[in-house]
Amino acid sequence: MPPLTEGRTAGDFVLFDQAEYSREPAVIGGGADLQPGTVLGKITATGKYVRCDSGASDGSQTPVAVLRTEAPAASADVTAVIQARHTRVRRFGLIFDASFATEADRNGACAALKEVGILAT
């Protein structure tokens, strides 16, 4: 029998959350398939969440959430579950955009997440 391979799950990065308070459904903007644990920013004009890119200037440059479920959004917007608040995550389980190239950049992103109630340790 061939081995089964499990993809990324919330167990890879969530240390604590309060299910009915920490999570919420969100529209993930099309353009890329995203894995659980991806650090997200929110586009101000549309309210859609996308992979946080520190070089953006549309609001998505600020980390505000972490993707909890898979988001196959390569060709269209999808709805997925995000960690929006009151969450403790494993810092090294998070997936950052390449624009967060240095440890200092990623530490800054974690500080921004702390401002919305997501503590990365």
Domain count, the chain: 1
- Report pLDDT for 94: 98
What is the DSSP code string of 31-79?
Answer: SEEE-TTBEEEE-TTT--EEE--TT-SSSTTS--EEE-S-EEESSS-EE
3-state helix, strand, coil in the chain (%, to 5): 20, 35, 50
Instruction: Please report whether residue 2 resides in a domain.
Output: no
CATH number at residue 21: 2.40.300.10
Instruction: Please report whether residue 41 resides in a domain.
Output: yes
Residue 22 — very low, low, confident or very high, per pLDDT cuts 50/70/90?
very high
CA atoms within 13 A on the CB side of 46: 14
Cα angle value 117/90/97 (rounded, 5°)? 85
Segments forming the whole domain that contains residue 30:
10-120
pLDDT per residue as tens digits for the range 49-86: 999 999 999 999 999 999 999 999 999 999 999 999 99
